[in-house]
Amino acid sequence: MFSWKEIPIGAIVTAPGSAKEYRTGDWRSQRPEWDLAKCIKCGLCYIYCPDASIGWKQDDGYPWWDEYHCKGCGICANECWTKAIHMVEETE
């Protein structure tokens, strides 16, 4: 963190998107799990994720999720057309 001498003038933040460093994944109490046999690669989970934590793997086009930022809200599991996603309790 800063001391008061290092705070930039006007308290501006110069690094764009620096909140990515913050681990919101720690809030999670349940995690999404994919049944890839049912996944049709439609990308609906990607467009409905409030935390922008779902993307695609480059090689096979199946979704991956970002454990660092996913808050485990369950919107993806609720919205998935083919019910390929289900939420499981976090046990760690």
Partner 1 sequence: MDKYGLYVPKLAPRKEYFAPGHRACVGCGEMLAVRQVCKALGRETIVINSTGCIEIVSSLFPQTTWEVPWMHTLFENAAAVASGVESAIKVMQRKGKYRDKKVNILAMGGDGATADIGLQALSGAFERGHDLLYVCFDNEAYMNTGIQRSSSTPYGAVTTTSPTGKKSIGQQTQKKNLPAIAVAHNIDYVATASPAYPFDLMDKVKKGVNTKGPAYIQVFSPCPTGWRSPGELSVALARLVVETGVFPLFEVVKGKYKMSMEFEKLRSIKDYMKPQGRFRHLTEDDIDTIQARVIEEYNKLKEKAYGQ
Task: Return d(Cα 16, Cα 13) in angstroms, integer.
Answer: 8
Q: Min. distance of Cβ 33 from partner 1 in angstroms?
A: 14
User: Dihedral angle at the C-alpha atoms of 28, 83, 44, 59, nearest 10 degrees?
Assistant: 90
CB of 91 to partner 1, least distance (A): 18
- The smaller minimum CB distance to partner 1, of residues 35 and 67, is found at 67
User: Which residue number, 78 or 82, has a Cβ lying nearer to partner 1?
Assistant: 78
Euclidean distance between CA atoms 69 and 12, whole angstroms: 24
Interface residues with partner 1 (CB under 8 A)?
1-2, 11, 13, 15-22, 24, 27, 41-44, 46-53, 55-56, 66, 68-69, 71-75, 77-79, 87
What sign results for the dihedral spanned by CA atoms 20, 26, 30, 33? positive
